[in-house]
């Protein structure tokens, strides 16, 4: 079954305590992306990766880091979380072929930074 | 700042009617356009993508793109209560950056 998994699904932490949200896909997709979703703002892209070791900033990269050492994994790292990073985070993976685009989102990670 | 605008709604339509969802974008260089459906508490789900001017149909869904007017729409024919969700418009400007609208809430009344 095609799947994007994220862990943890829920996390409460305190300001400044480093955390990592993992994302893994089983579809051999080259493209992966992280988004945050806040009420009234829709989805905003944080970082994306076109392939292993190739990443680039999205619209709201400040305060986040990513890495892509393996094709299946794309972790999101918050080195020093702050309350304004409280949000719902989604990881997504995509591929393109002649039929068009295939994309899957993970189930989301709800983060609360106190 | 590149923008994607959607009416937040809610848009309410009776069961069986056509629901029309609209989206405008600011970047004339945009090349790929997407519609997602997001049920409350769930992940977004890609339902339509369109790259060229004109209409693209898939079942009860039709995406319409007018690049000259910087306008993309989604029509849902024979709307069902199960179509009640938030619909997100997204635009990609040829690279891999994707800009989303804030979404339109749709209610289909039985």
Task: Quote the minimal CA–CA distance from A60 to chain B in Å.
Answer: 11
State which residue of chain B sits closest to A30, comparing Cα positions: B96
Q: What is the CA B44 to chain-centroid distance, rounded?
A: 12
A31 reaches B (C-beta below 8 A): yes
Q: pLDDT tens-digit profile of A77-108?
A: 999 999 999 999 999 999 887 777 889 999 99
Q: Which helix (H) or strand (E) holds B79?
A: none
Which of A64, A30, A23 is CA-nearest to residue A44?
Answer: A64
Name B35's Cβ contacts closer than 8 Å, sequence gap at least 6.
Answer: B21, B46, B47, B48, B49, B61, B63, B72, B74, B87, B88, B89, B90
pLDDT of residue B94: 66
Cα distance between residue B74 and residue B72, in whole Å: 7
Nearest Cβ partner for B98 among A45, A105, A108: A45
Q: What angle do CA B20, B23, B25 make, to 5 degrees?
A: 165
Cα distance between residue B22 and residue B71, in whole Å: 7
pLDDT of residue A88: 98
pLDDT of residue B8: 84
Peptide bond into A64 cis (omega under 30): no
Nearest Cβ partner for B88 among A31, A42, A50: A42
Contacts of A2 in chain B (CB under 8 A): none
The answer to whether B16 touches B31, Cβ cutoff 8 Å, is: no
Low-confidence spans in chain A with pLDDT less than 50: none
């Amino acid at each position: 079954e095609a799947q994007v998994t994220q862990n943890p699904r829920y996390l409460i932490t305190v300001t400044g305590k480093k955390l990592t949200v993992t994302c893994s896909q089983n579809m051999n997709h080259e493209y992966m992306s992280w988004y945050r979703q806040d009420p009234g703002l829709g989805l905003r892209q944080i970082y994306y990766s076109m392939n292993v070791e190739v990443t680039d900033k999205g619209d709201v990269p400040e305060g986040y880091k990513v890495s892509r050492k393996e094709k299946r994994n794309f972790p999101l790292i918050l080195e020093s979380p702050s309350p304004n990073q409280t949000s719902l985070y989604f990881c997504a993976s995509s591929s393109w072929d002649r039929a068009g685009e295939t994309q899957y989102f993970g189930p989301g990670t709800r983060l609360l930074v106190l | 700042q590149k923008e994607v605008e959607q009416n937040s709604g809610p848009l309410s339509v009776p069961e069986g009617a056509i629901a029309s969802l609209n989206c405008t974008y600011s970047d004339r260089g945009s090349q790929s356009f997407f519609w997602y459906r997001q049920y409350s508490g769930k992940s977004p789900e890609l339902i339509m993508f369109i790259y060229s001017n004109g209409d693209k149909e898939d079942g009860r869904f039709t995406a319409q793109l007018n690049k000259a007017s910087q306008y993309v729409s989604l029509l849902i024919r024979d709307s069902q209560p199960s179509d009640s969700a938030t619909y997100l418009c997204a635009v990609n400007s040829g690279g891999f950056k994707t800009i989303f609208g804030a979404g339109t809430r749709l209610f289909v009344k039985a």
